[in-house]
Amino acid sequence: MPKPATRFVCTACGAAFAKWAGQCGACGAWNTLVEEAVPRAGPPGGGAALGGRAVPLVPLQGESQVQPRLVSRIAELDRVLGGGFVPGSAILVGGDPGIGKSTLLLQAAAALARAGRRVLYLSGEESVSQIRLRAARLGLADAPVAVASVSALRDLLATVEADPRPDLAIIDSIQTVWLEEAGAAPGTVAQVRAAAAELIRVAKARDFALVLVGHVTKEGALAGPRVLEHLVDAVLYLEGDRGHVFRILRGVKNRFGATDEIGVFEMTARGLAEVANPSALFLAERRGNVSGSAVFAGMEGTRPVLVEVQALVSRRAGEGPARRTVVGWDQARLSLLLAVLDARCGVSFADRDVFLNVAGGLKVGEPAADLAVAAALLSALVDRPTDAGCVFFGEVGLSGEVRMVGQAELRLKEAAKLGFTNACLPKRVAGRGRALAVPEGVSLREIGHLADLVDLLARSTQRSGREISSRPC
């Protein structure tokens, strides 16, 4: 009998190779190649030779029965999902160990079960007694959630199929599910891919919502093959620093709602409590009279969020290169902004150590934060506070121009709601298309070039005797 053919697959990116190597040639990860059997090819002749049947084709236009979403009544979770769980959808939830994934999903399961929905919570990491202890600690022990501890894929599928009418099934986690025929350890590429495909097939066939909990790597990406994220309908990340009580649920993929939507939670003794007004929470400990601070009016999905950007600029310690430390923002973006300030405005940070932090543990990714970061850096450099009642937003280009950003009215409305009276924004935003609707009590300071911001801060420092040392632009 011939030996079955094998190949080596990278557990990080899913690339396949004929021979084992210490480093993946596709993604560069080390010691991630594992051996698995090569799928056998079917007989020639296509699907008909395999006994397949032709599926009838229908026109694009037509009536389709749309089932209502499963609303968990956890507003922040429903916001990220686009309004609730969609029947027949598959959702992948990832996050660091201990960040609160299982806690949040158990809370959602209990809320749906109390509303009369049939919810299955199937765990391969915890026993039934451990799940009950956690439910009792969260005050959810009376919720009619069906719980089981199972990790074998065949047993798991049999359990789900034996239930008469599930509305939601939570699998915690997909890395613990194993299939004997896959011939590999649980959590490997072959196991995760086979288990996820079977579970998603059953969920769509029986029209119940499926939630898969996924582990993450040390870099913060979801572990397992990349194809797993393509199989599911939505991918959610639960982010947060263990030093902060805040948790951010971020949607990076959603076929039924907006991407980059966020939900904000606070970790308490009774589980994750939703935060209705995250802007007020992120700015609760802000001191407006401190240099190196600027408030950024950002957008996370469809929600405007105000966060404080903090900068610290100090003289370089030692003879080595200047330090650049960033928390909550892109470090490459900081280097680009410092280069623009030097080349286009003559403000050099070459002999200074720069530390940048987004307060509250939020990770900001949109380029509109450039203007707020620049204001914080310049304020820290001259040791002079920015206007405590001003918010900043705008993208900075390589020539120093401040570019337009979207949804300016929502940003201004959120700023006015929290009591801000001034806004520094791109110069051409107000003249783009229709007139910009400015909330009452808010005045605009249009910034066309980064040099305008330098001049603004330079004028505010004349009384203190400290000036920004710069060359003519």
How many Å apart are CA 260 and CA 342, to the nearest integer? 33
Q: Which of 276, 294, 328 is the last residue of a domain?
A: 276
Q: Please report, for the domain that includes residue 82, its CATH number.
A: 3.40.50.300
The total number of structural domains in the chain stands at 3
**Cβ-based neighbours of 16, under 8 Å, separated by 6 or more:** 7, 8, 9, 10
- Which of 61-65, 74-78, 308-312, 403-407 is predicted least confidently? 61-65
Paired tokens of 330: 């892109």
Q: What is the CA radius of gyration of the chain?
A: 27
E-state strands within 11-158: 16-17, 33-37, 90-95, 119-123, 146-149
Choose the final residue of a domain: 228, 258, 276: 276
User: In this structure, is residue 368 part of a structural domain?
Assistant: yes
Q: Is residue 53 part of a domain?
A: no
Q: Does residue 306 lie within any of the structural domains?
A: yes
**Is pLDDT of 225 > 80?**
no
Same domain, 154 and 33: no
SS3 465: coil
Same domain, 82 and 130: yes
Pairwise CA distance, residues 32 & 15, whole Å: 10
Do 97 and 192 share a structural domain? yes
**Residue 180's pLDDT is what?**
79
Query: Looking at residue 323, which CATH number applies to its domain?
Result: 3.30.230.10
pLDDT tens digits along 231-271: 899 999 998 877 778 899 999 999 998 888 999 999 998 99
In this structure, the answer to whether residues 9 and 85 fall within a common structural domain is no
Residue 54: partners with Cβ closer than 8 Å, 6 or more residues away:
none
Q: Do 134 and 94 fall into the same domain?
A: yes
Please tell me whether residues 28 and 100 are part of one structural domain. Answer: no
User: Which tens digit of pLDDT belongs to each residue from 274-301?
Assistant: 998 889 888 888 887 789 999 999 998 8
- 8 A C-beta contact, residue 393 and residue 352: no
> Do 242 and 298 sit in the same domain of this protein?
no
For residue 222, pLDDT over 80 is answered with no
Q: How many residues does the chain have?
A: 473
In angstroms, the CA 158 to CA 100 distance is 28
Residue 151 falls inside a structural domain = yes
Residue 425 belongs to a domain: yes
**Domain check: are 229 and 286 in the same one?**
no
In 115-193 the beta strands, taken as DSSP E runs, fall at 119-123, 146-149, 168-172
Give the pLDDT mean for 98-104.
Answer: 92
Read off the pLDDT of residues 316-374 as tens digits, 9 standing for 90 and up.
877 788 899 999 999 999 999 999 999 999 999 999 999 999 988 888 989 999 999 99
- Cβ atoms of 303 and 309 within 8 Å: the answer is no
Within 65-173, strands assigned E span 90-95, 119-123, 146-149, 168-172
pLDDT in the model for residue 466: 47
Contact 210, 163 (CB under 8 A): no
Please check the confidence at residue 226 and state whether its pLDDT lies above 70: no
- Residues 156, 19 within the same domain: no
Is 48 within a domain? no
pLDDT (0 to 100) of residue 49: 59
pLDDT digits (tens, 9 = 90+) for 429-448: 544 556 788 899 999 999 99
Verify that 186 and 301 share a domain, yes or no: no
Distance, CA of 54 to CA of 358 (rounded, Å) = 55
Q: Tell me: pLDDT of 465 over 50.
A: no
Domain contains 56: no
Q: Which of 276, 298, 331 is the last residue of a domain?
A: 276
Q: What is the mean pLDDT of the chain?
A: 87
> Could you list the residue range(s) of the whole structural domain that residue 130 is in?
75-276
Is 64 contained in some domain?
no
Residue among 444, 440, 441, 439 nearest 424 (CA) = 444
Strand, helix or coil for residue 457: helix
Same domain, 294 and 259: no
Q: Are residues 126 and 239 in the same domain?
A: yes
Residue 46: pLDDT band with limits 50, 70, 90: low
Q: Choose between 157 and 217: higher pLDDT.
A: 157
Lowest mean pLDDT among 43-52, 110-119, 172-181, 342-351: 43-52
